[in-house]
């Protein structure tokens, strides 16, 4: 039997009988739900993260992200005994515990590892590959024959073959023969309950056909639907296109808002009317900008890649220009509204409602509220905020706490700015105050 057949057969056997150990590098909003999914499917799971706080919380079965309940973690049997990472023998129970550690040496015990680390943009606008490279170097250090390595971090097409593959092959083990390498982009939408890590279709591409076979076997044992593609580059491009589609269409909706503002047309009326068409139209709405880790950032990976090839991504660049300019547009709306009632923005009390980037979550990554607050303060406004999900935050010189009493804050405000339309807000109360309100989300629709 060939080396490839032996490695593949052994790995498949361990996956099928659930004796495989799965490692998850990065225990954030992507890695932790994935770890839970594999544990619930009967795999022994070891989570690795450089954040000791996360590791300690997970080993206490305490969740630190909204999409995983602590009760879910407690339902997985405790992995810690005498201070060591220990697991019971698989005795027919349908779940296994998740052990967490900061020690990458635990990778030596793993048959498969999924890399779920951040991929931010550097201040220069270039993709920051440092987290992926650091994780790949650690995996390569503890790599062994028969191991499957899957990159889940969203990144530009070619990352798997340019950065991950050379590192894991540097020791002499070849992908598709002794080891197996895939890319399978995360599709997590924080706060959703209808589509989860388990139920959302999972795209996956392999460096070779055998790599893809191993990846499909592992993920197919824990997730409901798999979507195989021909290569890691195709899988990488799929994720970038998904988020570019949203960024461009949100940019179009935001530009429609700017045009309707000039033409004195109600943009929300136009969008709602257009959305009645049962075919050929998908509803997107304008707002204060775009937030989250994916939509503001992922399309720029592709734009950067094309620039390196002396090409341009014109739709992406234009959408980014429009979306990035929305905070300034709304701040100007606040200033103009105050001027109309004889008040300058400087010295006026502006209450921002909602600072998370999307409703009903505490996630503030790339939230447009942050830029809005910065710009308001730069113009001399006295800014406070209320958000039921964010008791306090620090960001780039901002150090703010949520106002304790919303009713009192509404009474004191010269202007209220609705940035995040959390479902828990009673908009009728805001409307009843007869305040000067700048509504970036059309939250007060129907209350006039």
| Residues marked as catalytic | 294
| CA 146 – CA 166 distance, rounded (Å) | 17
DSSP string, 176-194: TTTBEEEE------TT-SS
110 φ, ψ to 5°? -90, 140
The answer to whether the CB of 47 falls within 8 A of the CB of 98 is: yes
Q: In the numeric block, which tokens belong to residue 365?
A: 């990554």
At residue 419's C-alpha, the angle toward residues 416 and 420, to 5°, is 125
| CA 211 – CA 237 distance, rounded (Å) | 18
365 φ, ψ to 5°? -60, 125
DSSP string, 48-67: E-S-HHHHHHHHTT---STT
- Helices first, then strands: H and E counts in the chain: 16, 16
DSSP string, 125-174: SSB--HHHHHHHHHHHHT--TT-EEEE-S---TTHIIIIIHHHHHTTS--
| CA 152 – CA 117 distance, rounded (Å) | 8
Q: Is 374 exposed, middle or buried (0-12, 13-18, 19+ CB in 10 A)?
A: middle
List C-alpha distances in Å: 69 to 22, 36, 93, 260: 21, 10, 21, 43
SS3 370: helix
Q: In the numeric block, which tokens belong to residue 253?
A: 């909706």
| CA 105 – CA 25 distance, rounded (Å) | 12
């Amino acid at each position: 039997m060939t080396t490839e057949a032996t490695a593949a057969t052994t790995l498949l056997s361990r996956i099928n009988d659930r004796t495989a150990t799965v490692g998850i590098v990065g225990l954030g909003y992507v890695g932790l739900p994935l770890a839970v999914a594999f544990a619930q499917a009967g795999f022994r799971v070891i989570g690795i993260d450089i954040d000791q706080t996360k590791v300690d919380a997970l080993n206490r079965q305490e969740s630190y992200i909204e999409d995983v309940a602590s009760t879910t973690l407690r339902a997985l049997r405790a992995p810690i005994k005498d201070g060591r990472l220990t697991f019971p023998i698989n005795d027919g129970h349908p779940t296994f515990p998740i052990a967490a550690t900061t020690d990458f040496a635990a990778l030596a015990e793993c048959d498969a590892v999924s890399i779920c680390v951040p991929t931010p943009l550097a201040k220069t606008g270039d993709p920051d590959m440092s987290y992926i490279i650091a994780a790949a170097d650690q995996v390569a250090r503890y790599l062994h024959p028969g191991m499957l390595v899957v990159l889940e971090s969203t990144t530009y097409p070619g990352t798997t073959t340019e950065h991950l593959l050379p590192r894991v092959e540097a020791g002499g083990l070849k992908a598709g023969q002794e080891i197996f390498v895939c890319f399978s982009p995360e599709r997590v939408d924080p706060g959703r309950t209808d589509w989860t890590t388990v139920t959302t279709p999972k795209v996956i591409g392999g460096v070779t056909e055998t790599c893809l076979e191993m990846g499909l076997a592992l993920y197919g044992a824990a997730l409901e639907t798999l979507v195989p593609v021909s290569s890691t580059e195709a899988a990488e491009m799929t994720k970038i296109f998904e988020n570019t589609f949203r960024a461009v269409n949100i940019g179009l909706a935001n530009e429609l808002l700017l045009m309707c503002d000039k033409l004195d047309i109600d943009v929300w009326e136009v969008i709602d009317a257009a959305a009645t068409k049962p075919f050929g139209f998908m509803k997107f709405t304008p707002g204060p900008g775009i937030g989250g880790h994916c939509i503001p950032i992922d399309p720029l990976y592709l734009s950067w890649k094309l620039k390196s090839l002396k090409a341009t991504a014109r739709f992406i660049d234009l959408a980014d220009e429009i979306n990035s300019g929305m905070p300034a547009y709304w701040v100007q709306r606040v200033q103009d509204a105050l001027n109309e009632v004889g008040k300058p923005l400087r010295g006026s009390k502006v209450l921002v409602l909602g600072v998370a980037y999307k409703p009903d979550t505490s996630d503030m990554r790339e939230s447009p509220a942050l830029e809005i607050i910065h710009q308001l303060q730069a113009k001399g406004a006295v800014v406070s905020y209320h958000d039921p999900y964010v008791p306090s935050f620090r960001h780039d010189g901002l150090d703010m706490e949520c106002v304790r009493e919303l009713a009192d804050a509404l009474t004191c405000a010269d202007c209220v700015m609705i940035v995040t339309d959390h479902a828990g807000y009673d908009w009728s109360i805001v409307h009843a105050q007869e305040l000067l309100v700048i509504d970036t989300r059309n939250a007060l629709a129907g209350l006039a």
